[in-house]
Each structure stands twice: as C-alpha cells, then as structure tokens.
Structure 1
C-alpha cells in the first residue's frame, strides 16, 4: 500500500517546515539585520553546517558538546559534528583564515543550527542564528559597540520595548578565588546562586557569603546594582570586572540614555564560555530571550582562560525574534494572463510588481487572479484591481 501522505509529513520533535509567509518574513528580517551590521563595518562570512568534531568542539565550542549531533564522514572515516552554535566557527575563521587581517576583525553571519534538544522556553531544535563577532579589541568601547549594535538592529526591524540585562559570569569565581575558596566550594556556591538561594549561599559561602549575598540582592535596575557594587570592597581579581562593567554602562548611557538596562551580578547559566562582560536581550512583548552575547577568547583552549584572542559579539535567535517583528507589507501581486509577452511582465517587475503568470487560458481572469492570491490583474495593457 502507498504510504499515508500525512504520516510521511510527520517530522521529529523540535523540527518543522517553514511555509511561504513565515519564510518570507524570516528572510526579509535577516537581510535587514545584516544590513544594519554592514553599516558598522561587519563583513559577512558563511561557515559550513558540518565540521570535523575535534575542530568544532574545541575551545569555546566545547560548551556545546552535549547539544551537538555527530556522524561519521564516509570519505575520511573521521567523526563530524553538526553545528549547534555558529560563534565558535566565526572564532575559528578569525584566528585561522583571517589571522593576518588587521585587528579588530568585524564579522557577521546568518545560518541554521541544530541541537540535540530544545529548552523549556525554546522547543525548536533547528533555528536560525544571526549575529556579529568583534575579534581583537579588549577595550570597553568594544563591549559597548556590540551591545549598541544589537539594540540598533532590533529597533530597525521593529522590535518594541527592548531591554538589556548585563552580567559578568566571571565575577563570582574571581571573588571566590580572591578569598581563598577552592573549586568544590565555588561549585556549590554557584549552584546556590543559580537558585537565588540566600540561605544556601550563607551555608556554603564561608568568607565570600556576605559579599555574594549583597551582590545577589542588588541585582536589578542598573543604577541600584552599580551603587551597591561600587560600595563593596572586592578582591583585586574581581576589580577588572567591576571597572569594565562601570565603563561599559557609562558608554551605553551616553549613547542611549533611554535604554532600559538591568544588571544581574551573579548570573552564570547560559554563559559557560564567556570570560567577561556578557548580556541578554529582551523585549517585554516576547517570551524568552531575543539573543545573548558577551566576551570570550577566540581560539582558546578549554583549560586556558587567558589563551586566545579577546573577542566579543552576540547571537540573535530568529525563532523568538520573529514573534515580535512586525511583518513587512505584502508584495503587490499581479495576475498576468496566458500569452502575455515576457517583456511586458518584465516591465511590471521592474516597477515593483510580483508577476504571477497564467499557464493556460482562463475563462474568468478575475476569478483566476483571486485563486492565485493576486490583488491585481493585467487587462487591456494596464494593471487593474481585482476587487
């Protein structure tokens, strides 16, 4: 028996077909975002969907190992991996193929990623990432540039009610190290902070507990958080993080004084390979984050915090973003009757029309135009509304 058409259309969990209207909306939004990136000098690159496993999962890519699909390459007999995140690939390109390019290197990208499983907020396992990477500079001006670019690009495509949440994933570990806590104690502290468990922090934090409880309580609006942070005596190891956060926030305020900025002084989850100031982008109208970014070391080995090139960037998640980006005006479609000269239809396309040609004579051209979802039709040498 022939297969049931509906059963052959069944897709694995977290994967789905993108139909014409949605696909058009996504393509248009991606191109508008990339145009904003290009305006600030970011050049587009296009890494492959699949790479050798040992390359894709090295350095910062190791953080995505549990989310990565693997397969055997029948040609080389080596294990390959399907990318779950594009950032490590851009870092590889910058530190290998473009290693002799003058710094800073500004790159942007758009492409699909595939993950082993979705998250609670993002059920999709395949989705489009769009983003930028700024390779080479260490100055706070670089952190401010990528944050402001992300905000500018999102505003340009119509995302309402934007906010930026800043964090410094390295601050807690540097405070713990500066106060003499070991790796095991720091790990337990991290778990308590992730739960926002003040009692747990007090129980396992030792000399770091009062400091970390203050940081946890201060998280929120940027002004309040920075006032609390500025009043604390931090170990020298954490001073660099405080100075960078302070200066970056000053630059953001100078450029966009009305931007809503919050700060989480103990956040770590989702920033496993970041090595400094990081951020998450939100809209009041969206469920979940629109994107994330932050500072990392391009080309670093997993066990070498200071290895590699200083870098920062961000990734936008199109599956979430498209839910709050207004759809662009639908293209004007005109029905061109069967037998119309090709050059005539070409002239209409040059004027901005989408031409939909009749492939056989139609007894009722108006009904045929409606059937083909055209609001206009070509009749007697001119374009006329269908209704």
Structure 2
C-alpha cells in the first residue's frame, strides 16, 4: 500500500505533548481542580461532542466560527466539537442540575478544539480548567471567582500574578444615556477598544471630549478609580461602575498584594459578558493565563439565570511555571523481586525494570535514562563509584 506524506505530520495548531510535559500538565490540572474543590466547586465532565444547537446557545453563540461540525450518523443531526467548555456548564446547570440549590458551584478540566488559533495562541487544541458560580448576582460572587482563580494559580507556583478587571457593559450604557443609537455605539465601542483617539472623536461627535476622557481610564486600580470621579457616570452606567468598584474593593481586601489594573473600555473577548469581567496575567509570560466574568447562563430551552466564572488556559499557565523536576528513575535489573520494586515506589522512586539479562546493568540503566541503579540491595547514583 502506498503511503501518502509524512505520517508524523500534524495539522497546524495541533501537537503531541510528550514526556515529561504531559505528566506535568496532568499534575497541574489535578492541583488546580483540588483547589477549586476545596472551595466547594464540584467537578463535572461534559462530553467532547454535543448537538450544534446546544453548543451555540447562550454564551456559546459567539463561538459559531470556531466549532468543527459533523453529522451524527445515529440521529442525523449536526454535532459540534466543543470550542469552549463554559456553554456546556451552562447547559448542565439549566437542565440536569436545574433543581440543585443555588448558588451552584461547578468546576471542570478538559480539552477544547477550535477552527483557528490566534496570534498569541496559535494552538487550536488546548486544555481548559475553570469554575462557574451560577444563580447569584451579588458582587461577592464576582470577587469569589477572581480570588478562587488567583489562589489556585499561586498554589501551583505562578509568580507575579496580576488581574486586569474590565467593564464591557459600561460604554453601551453611557451611549444609551447620551442617546447614541446602537449602530453608532457599536462603532464607537470598537474604536475605543482599539484606542483610536482620532476615530473616537469623529464617531462621538459632540460627546467627543467625554469619550476621549473615558479612553484614558486605564491603569492601576486606584489610579483609574480616582480618575473616574471626574467622569460623572449616570443612570445604568453609574450602577454598573459602582458594582465594579465594590468588586475591586472586595478583591483588594482579601488579596492586598495582588496587582489589579482596570480598563473601562476593553471589551474584546467579552462579547457575551453582562458585567464585571477580568483577565489574568503573569509578569514576563506571553499571553493570558485565563479570563472570565459575569454572563447570563442560557440553556437550549432558553432558561436564563445569572452566572459568573473563569477559564484558565493550561498552555499559558504551564509557561508561567518552572520546568518540571525530573523524577528519580531507578533501574531494577532483570529478576529483581517485585516486593523490592514496591518498596522503592512507595518511597517515591520511578522504577524501570529490566526485561532480560544484560552484560552491563549500569550501561543499560543509562541507556534507559535512569539516574540510579540498584545492585545487591544497594542504591547507586549513576556516574558515581
């Protein structure tokens, strides 16, 4: 049979995760989930594939272009490979867990697949780990999910962590208060997000001076909060901003050493969010460690309830951590007793058993990347006499 191409070649954006990286990722995921579980977040596991309409409901509506589709040969209905796990959590909360007491705390970990990567994340398959707090509107819920993610990231070893808190609902609320129509408000929102002062001034017209001031509302939390006093928000905009201030206050009191920045006009990636939103970064690490915020959880039956949550991206999280330590690997020559190997494994050793007699056990141990060798009941570090 003729072989076509290189069988080891993978599609763009996909990769094999080899040792020790695969084991390291699995261990970090486990530790993150353990942290979430300790704060009352129960782990659930949605399927990799779902019917297309379920994946595209509620929060998943913005992911239509990122979903791989296929026909289910059993039901003859269109299915999709999940591009994000959050919409699945919303479906489960509004259906299988609709009678569970609120607030409902759920966490998860699993792979997602997207049609295209981004400049910062060219990978199309990566692991997400996250948590959702469903059924409450209190500011304390927004603060809780931020702090839960921060605590977990710090516990696995992420250093110099910061959170950038945003309010994607603020610009639409201000535009509505000023009588700007929806189409013009959308263009203005995009210009503000691009930090394009000239376009903002043109689009805002007689309100140009005000929106130029709003454009500068980015920086450390205290700087922005002080600066925002001169913006004199009104109506819904004031209500939304007051909630943001309260969330910042709650997070600051609980984690006074955490670096918090604010950007009042940022909205990219928060298209479906309905309130306080946030992004996690680590100093010197390329890309976002994760993001999240408040949204409406909507099921396929249009059951809606408030929710807030976060998603961590494991490819970026792993870049923020030290290289995994190489496990102590000890070579057990052929015919070593099983109980001797059990005793070593109980002490934390990784044992590599010889499957046949060889002339030189030391050379065989080195060939198999072992750091130690057991001879006559004694452990020897390879390279030492």
1:273-284 correspondence to structure 2 within 5 Å: 273-284=272-283
Change beyond 3 A, Cα 1:54–1:301: closer
What CA deviation, in whole Å up to 9, does each residue of 1:103-130 have, x standing for no partner?
1111111100000100011110000011
Change beyond 3 A, Cα 1:47–1:300: closer
Query: 2:298: which partner in 1?
Result: 299
Query: 1:360: which partner in 2?
Result: 356
Query: 2:59: which partner in 1?
Result: 60
8 A Cα contact 2:293 2:310, kept in partner: yes
1:250-261 correspondence to structure 2 within 5 Å: 250-261=249-260
Query: 1:233: which partner in 2?
Result: 232
8 A Cα contact 1:60 1:300, kept in partner: no
Provide structure 2 residue ranges, at least 5 long, that are not aligned to the other structure: none
Match among 322, 332, 339 for residue 326 of structure 1? 322
What is the deviation of 1:157? Answer: 1.4
What CA deviation, in whole Å up to 9, does each residue of 1:252-309 have, x standing for no partner?
111111211110100111111111000001111211111101000111689x9xx711
8 A Cα contact 2:91 2:300, kept in partner: no
Query: 1:268: which partner in 2?
Result: 267
What is the deviation of 1:207? Answer: 5.0
Query: 1:3: which partner in 2?
Result: 3
Distance 2:300 2:3 in 1: 50
Distance 1:364 1:94 in 2: 60
8 A Cα contact 1:294 1:313, kept in partner: yes
Distance 2:45 2:86 in 1: 11
Distance 2:101 2:268 in 1: 34
SS across alignment from 2:20: helix
Query: 2:190: which partner in 1?
Result: 191
SS across alignment from 1:160: coil
What CA deviation, in whole Å up to 9, does each residue of 1:76-101 have, x standing for no partner?
10000000001111111111111111
Question: Is 1:348 aligned with 2:348?
Answer: no
1:66-215 correspondence to structure 2 within 5 Å: 66-206=65-205, 208-215=207-214
What is the deviation of 1:3? Answer: 3.2
Question: Is 1:316 aligned with 2:315?
Answer: no
SS across alignment from 1:322: helix
8 A Cα contact 1:370 1:386, kept in partner: yes
What CA deviation, in whole Å up to 9, does each residue of 1:210-266 have, x standing for no partner?
332212112111111111223322231112211111111111111111211110100
Change beyond 3 A, Cα 1:289–1:174: same
Question: Is 1:379 aligned with 2:375?
Answer: yes
Question: Is 1:336 aligned with 2:335?
Answer: no
**TM-score, normalised by the number of residues in structure 2:** 0.96
Distance 1:207 1:254 in 2: 40
**TM-score, normalised by the number of residues in structure 1:** 0.95
Distance 2:239 2:91 in 1: 27
Provide structure 1 residue ranges, at least 5 long, that are not aligned to the other structure: none
What is the deviation of 1:366? Answer: 0.6
SS across alignment from 1:20: coil
What is the deviation of 1:2? Answer: 5.5
Distance 1:188 1:377 in 2: 68
8 A Cα contact 1:335 1:369, kept in partner: yes
8 A Cα contact 2:110 2:127, kept in partner: yes
Distance 1:293 1:60 in 2: 12
What is the deviation of 1:344? Answer: 2.2
Matched residues, number: 383
